[in-house]
Structure 1
Amino acid sequence: MNAPTPTGPTGTDIATLVQDDRVDVSLYTDPHLFELEMDRIFNRTWVWVAHESEVPNAGDFKTAMVGRQPVIVTRDRRGGINVLLNRCRHRGASVCEAPRGHANGFTCPYHAWSYALDGKLRGIPYPDGYGDDLEKKDFPLHRLKVDSYAGMVFASFDHEVQPLADFLGPARHWMDLFMKQGAGYPIKVQGEHTFRFKGNWKIQLENTTDGYHFPIVHRSWMSSVDAETAEMLSFMTDEKAVTHALGNGHSVMVMVPEHVDLDQDDGTEQLQERFGHIVEELSREFAPEKVRRIVRSLHGAGFNLNLFPNVAMSMSFFRVLRPVSVTETEIRHMALGLDGGPEIVNRERLRIHEHFQGPFGFGSPDDSEAWDRVQRGATAGPGLPIMVNRGLPRERHEGDGRVSHATDETGMREAYAMWKAMMTDGR
């Protein structure tokens, strides 16, 4: 028997809601579509949950969300990473409320069922009440399928999901390049902050590879930085600043072409004067080429990588989105540093992060205001589409996907093509 055709608002065929150059505004506003997204996207594909640096040692854990379902990410005694549904198998209470920490296991506060770091049920108080009707091995915490690449940990409720390597595809190359900002050190998460905006999650998904908005929305930030930084990010007319569609909804936007591969340095780039004190301190310990390598990477990689559906590896930070409702989204900005690297460098990276992404920075408030306005505007003219046609005439096929200028909407078209594929698969 054929599966029923998925439908959107007023019975519309979902396949008609996404065209090559436009999407229906109901993708931002329809609660029915949102519920389908939670099932057909967030419950069926790979969703980013952690960076390995967040759970470095046995017993370390953090709590996270996969769609709207709470999970615990743990490092067990054998060194493996587990992603466990944060729900006791007895009466359904959460077994962990701390955002992160270190533990020997997890005990439900309601009836004290206790679980190991890998989710196995270890103990039940007063087990006689169950007689022979309960076997501990049959009631572990629910485990998600887990895999990782380049230190990025992903989980899926679908244990038959395609291999992570296949899902990431050409994006793996860009993930490898992104991690080179460690300048020989591993990358670590060194802080984060969380906020919400009154808008649909796909509005933020679009933003990461939308170079068109940058000099408009972020005028205040551009006027607040030194001339060298402003010049570095003046990519609007740079022919080498491009966006690649990488397949499976992923895309990358190159903003600073000379910083795409930070291992490559022709020696002509002048180090910014603002980092003179860092050069001076590092020069006491490191050779000149090592100092130069570290300082060139202070702003991170020269690109934003969008991994469908919920994480961006954006220059020097991770941006994680979590759908809360059809009209509300939670965002986490995670600052990155060098694990074992010079403290002066990690402090400077935090200051750079705070200046743009921080809660009192210039970038995040401007972005979130724009996202709010898109959602508010989406309630007007419900028959008018959202246009994603910029750059279509100059888009070309190259290598592993489509390529166009960094100000074009190639990344959005890629994300919506994946949205359409997952929402209409009929399962």
Structure 2
Amino acid sequence: MPTGGAGYGDLVQDDRVHTALYKDPAIFDEEMERIFKNTWVWVAHASEVPRKNTFRKSYVGKQPVIVTRDKEEKVHVLLNRCRHRAATVCEKKAGKTSVFVCPYHGWSYNLDGKLRSVPHQAVYGEGFDKDEFPLVSLRTEEYNGMIFATFRDDIEPLEEFLGAARKWIDLFMKQGAGYPVKTLGEHQFRFPGNWKIQLENTTDAYHFPIVHKTFLDSLDAETENVFDVLGQGGWVEDLGNGHSLMVMIPDLVDLEENLDAPIPERFAELAEELRAEGHSDHEVRRIVRAVGGGGFNLNLFPNVACSMAFFRVLRPVSVDETEIRHIAIGMDGGPEAGNRMRMRLHEHFQGPMGFGSPDDAEGWERVQRGSSAGDDLWILVNRGKEPLVGHAAGSNVTDVSAETGMRAAYQQWKRMMSA
């Protein structure tokens, strides 16, 4: 097995990657150092820390962190480790507090990480300085509600890292229908497979009509036509820095357009309820159009996707285990009926008893299991390499079923692992 930067680069070619990327523990360990400690990693949405003195637990790679909003309403990302003897200072998933207290020896910290007090401090001697022992703070930046952190102080600004993906984040956030976007709820699960197997999935339309046939069979004819993802002129695009875009329903790219279109039958009852609450016809159409979600998936390397109508966050646990968060989103301050409908739609596909999550997870598990067969085989990502000629989206896009997103991610993997 190749080792070192040059050797890792040999494992990724233009149209294939070596199966060792799924199953070699040494490669996984290097990924945690070379990738997750050397780039911007998504840690939370701003609505998860909505007010001063609120917090949310998260991870950067395998390292536990706390995302906080301090009393001045500034956001921080802090390593979840007491500076004394390394115990975690926060075990609650999320909440509100003005101080974190280590349960082992009582060291306490403000939400900006500053060491607040130390029991029996005099025993440390006169030279002990609390300012030398804050919780370790990571560089933190935010774009349109998306909070990212990095261990590197010398890395490019977040907006530069996101690059062309910023346009698509902005379009995705139009699901607020004029209200701020907020998280509504989530479920977590783990699957026995490598994190990159899930990373590949989000901009892979090729699998959709096969893996999600039961979902398609559960829809009415009108909605099933909407989800004909291979037949609506969509595309896949490499956005740079490992990010990729898959447009499945071009008519739903910009949710502020086509508001005069007929309201789909499945949303007719919702529209009537909104009208009864006093919303104008324009507001009703805007909310109804947003409730159904956008027509694209945006993959942000290395760990988060804006997927049609929810956030999907991956967390590497080990070489053959990955944790997934599916986070439903809605309108902060928007009509309860609209958010209720968004939750029902989320549950139908991505909820724990929905059609999407179990089918996807079985596919990912089978890939990991199958990767144990054979010693020197390659994973093909060679579908749809040629750009579409004369496509309305430009000259740099490929067929909606192309494996462009996978190639984009693996080329970024190669750059970072070879550095």
> Taking structure 1 as the reference length, what is the TM-score of the superposition?
0.95
* SS of residue matched to 2:291: coil
Q: Distance in 1 between matches of 2:59 and 2:386?
A: 39
Gap change, CA 1:196 and 1:397, over 3 Å in 2: farther
Q: Distance in 1 between matches of 2:304 and 2:370?
A: 25
Of residues 22, 26, 49, the one that matches 1:28 is 22
Q: Distance in 1 between matches of 2:202 and 2:208?
A: 10
2:325 matched residue in structure 1: 332
CA contact (8 A) 1:246 1:401 kept: no
2:235 matched residue in structure 1: 242
Q: Which range moved further: 273-282 or 365-374?
A: 273-282
Residues 277-302 of structure 1 deviation map (CA, whole Å, 9 limit, x = unaligned) = 21111112111121111111112111
Provide the aligned length of Structure 1 versus Structure 2.
Answer: 417
Q: Distance in 2 between matches of 1:62 and 1:39?
A: 24
* SS of residue matched to 2:206: helix
1:176 matched residue in structure 2: 170
1:347 matched residue in structure 2: 340
2:307 matched residue in structure 1: 314
Instruction: Write the letter of the residue equivalent to 2:286.
Output: R
Residues 3-18 of structure 1 aligned to structure 2 (within 5 Å): 8=2, 13-18=7-12
Of residues 281, 285, 290, the one that matches 1:292 is 285
Instruction: Write the letter of the residue equivalent to 2:192.
Output: K
Gap change, CA 1:150 and 1:401, over 3 Å in 2: farther
Residues 105-156 of structure 1 deviation map (CA, whole Å, 9 limit, x = unaligned) = 1010000000001000010000111112310000000000000001000001
Q: Distance in 1 between matches of 2:80 and 2:313?
A: 19
Q: Distance in 2 between matches of 1:353 and 1:189?
A: 12
Of residues 95, 98, 101, the one that matches 1:104 is 98
CA contact (8 A) 1:9 1:30 kept: no
Moved over 4 A (4+): 9-12, 395-401
Instruction: Write the letter of the residue equivalent to 1:280.
Output: E
2:264 matched residue in structure 1: 272
1:4 matched residue in structure 2: none
Q: Distance in 2 between matches of 1:266 and 1:242?
A: 23
Percent of aligned positions that are identical = 57
Instruction: Write the letter of the residue equivalent to 1:166.
Output: E
1:254 matched residue in structure 2: 247
Instruction: Write the letter of the residue equivalent to 2:168.
Output: W
Task: For structure 2, list consecutive stretches of 5 or more residues without a partner in the other structure.
Answer: none
1:114 matched residue in structure 2: 108
2:161 matched residue in structure 1: 167
Residues 15-414 of structure 1 aligned to structure 2 (within 5 Å): 15-239=9-233, 241-265=234-258, 267=260, 269-284=261-276, 285-394=278-387, 402-414=396-408
Instruction: Write the letter of the residue equivalent to 1:237.
Output: G
CA contact (8 A) 2:197 2:364 kept: yes
* SS of residue matched to 1:13: helix
CA contact (8 A) 2:242 2:408 kept: yes
CA contact (8 A) 2:52 2:70 kept: yes
Q: Distance in 2 between matches of 1:131 and 1:309?
A: 45
Instruction: Write the letter of the residue equivalent to 1:322.
Output: R
Q: Which range moved further: 87-96 or 288-297?
A: 288-297
Q: Distance in 1 between matches of 2:250 and 2:333?
A: 28
Gap change, CA 1:355 and 1:170, over 3 Å in 2: same
* SS of residue matched to 2:386: helix
Gap change, CA 1:250 and 1:400, over 3 Å in 2: farther
> Taking structure 2 as the reference length, what is the TM-score of the superposition?
0.97
